[in-house]
Amino acid sequence: MDRFLIYLIESSLLLSVGVALFMLLMSSETMHRLNRWLLLLVAFMAIVLPTVPLNVDSPMAALSSVIESVVKGNAMNLVNSDRVYDMSAVLQPITDNAYETQTAISSYRIMEYVTVLYFTVVALLIIRLLYMYIQVARILRNGVDEDISGYISCNARLVVHDGSYKPFSWLGYIAISRFDLEDGGREIIIHEAAHIRYCHSLDILFADLLIILQWFNPMAWVMKNLLKDIHEYEADSAVLAAGVNAKQYQLLIIKKAVGARLYSIANSFNHSLTKKRITMMCKEKSSLWHCAKALYIVPLAVIAACTFSSSANSEPLVKVNEKVEISENVNQEKYLDSANVERTKEVVTLKIRGNGSSNSSDESSSVERMPEFKGGATAMLAYISTNIIYPQDCVKNRVEGKTYVMFNVATDGSLKDVNIAKTSGNNLLDEEAVRIVKSMPAFIPGLDKNGNAIQVRYMLPVAFKLQ
């Protein structure tokens, strides 16, 4: 869920910026088709760009790292196929109801509540969308098909009903009441046929799906309204291009401005922007220079690519406060003291050979996606804190310590070759640390650059502290 939440935040940020810039630069221009495709492109970028890993180094990439650290609480699975990262500053399960442990568990529970709330609203919106489609289909089914060739030459089906719903189009159908057909029917049908010809119903479906994905983002709802406005401008232009008198058509729009509300999945002649439609029809056509403002999409895409590129390729940062001594059962090639690493990173790394693992220094076997506990690092911390048993003898004698447990995350996610990398100095604490690691459920396995599961060496510090 952590990864999906990061995606939602990045996607909603990009959509919000893109729509805001559109409203500032392009919403008053009369190049309606350009505006329509520009708005759809902004929405498409917001959906796709945060999912595309790009090897781009940019100061803007720090924003993505900030988002990840906020969502994951700075608790990322920091592993590489030929490296082991000390996570002691991030994961320190404390067993005596310590404040840090309770905070981590509370954060995990909050994430659960957020997840339930998000998908509950998603489910309700899907039900609402299906209900509206059913209602529109019911109107079309109860109407009577009539010949459209007397009004306009097109392949749309004309459905006439006796209800109070105002004219609308949906996919290949035009629905109109008997009264409206007799009063301005030709102009209305030309208008709705333009919606069908330009496939506006598909735009609305796309906007509705985006709203379901980002229901919490006000700009997703604004984007749909802007799109529907553009649809009306396009259809109005088609009516005027067909030779309809502009003043008579504007009077018809005003006359039809009051009526029963239509479901938002359809394009309605009675769309509630009468004044803006008339104003747009009276405006002069935008010059090519004004339309050049649409090029804002290019720097927006570049900045978005630089900003979100770090999710897949930036090296995670962890602060380490102590030097880790490795026990004799681990074949140590090299140990780097934290003083020899960049001060901004302060990462302790060590390379492992042998032990039958796939920890090769071959670059082709490097991990592209790190293995992780299901639910993220905060879930792992909560699991350990909930299930660990502080040895009674150690509680009685006030014994504390930290055990570094080393293990392999296999290609199926199971934990293998669990052993002690650094002892706490107490056998009971070491045994409990090994036991809790062995009891952990399977991880989500790491993946290499080709998307194949790969075995990864992992080190987890388990801290025992008493209040």
pLDDT tens by residue, the chain, 467 residues = 667 888 898 899 999 999 999 988 888 888 888 999 999 999 999 998 888 765 555 444 444 555 454 554 433 333 333 333 334 433 433 333 344 445 555 555 677 788 899 999 999 999 999 999 998 999 888 889 888 887 888 888 999 988 878 888 888 899 988 888 888 788 899 999 999 999 999 999 999 999 999 999 999 999 999 999 999 999 988 888 888 888 888 888 887 765 544 556 666 655 456 777 888 887 777 777 777 777 888 888 877 777 665 444 443 333 333 333 433 333 333 333 333 333 223 222 323 233 333 443 343 346 778 888 888 777 888 888 788 888 888 888 888 888 889 898 999 989 999 999 888 889 999 999 999 999 999 998 888 888 888 888 888 888 888 76
User: Is 328 within a domain?
Assistant: yes
Give a yes or no: residue 349 inside a domain. Answer: yes
Q: What is the pLDDT of residue 387?
A: 85
Assigned domain for 368 exists: yes
Domain contains 320: yes
State the Cα–Cα distance between residues 46 and 10, nearest whole angstrom: 8
User: Encoding tokens for residue 51?
Assistant: 């999912």
- Write out the two tokens for 438: 């062995």
Q: 262 and 165 in contact (C-beta within 8 Å)?
A: yes
Query: C-alpha distances in angstroms, 400 versus 57, 323, 370, 397, 461?
Result: 43, 18, 31, 9, 13
Structure tokens that stand for 119 in this block: 């998908």
Q: How many domains, in total, are found in the chain?
A: 1
Task: Please indicate, yes or no, if residue 191 is contained in any of the structural domains.
Answer: no
d(CA 89, CA 457): 19
Alpha helix (H) residue ranges in 26-90: 32-48, 62-72
Domain that residue 351 falls in: 74-98+315-464
CA distance 74 to 89: 10
Q: Is residue 127 part of a domain?
A: no
d(Cα 268, Cα 394) in Å, to the nearest integer? 74
Q: In what order do the strands lie in the sheet containing 349-352? A: 79-80, 83-85, 349-352, 332-335
Is residue 181 in a domain?
no
Q: What is the pTM of this model?
A: 0.59
What are the tokens at 247? 């003043």
**In this structure, is residue 377 part of a structural domain?**
yes
The partner residues of 354 in beta bridges, in order of sequence, read none
CATH classification at residue 430: 3.30.2420.10
Could you identify the residue written with the tokens 């909930």?
386
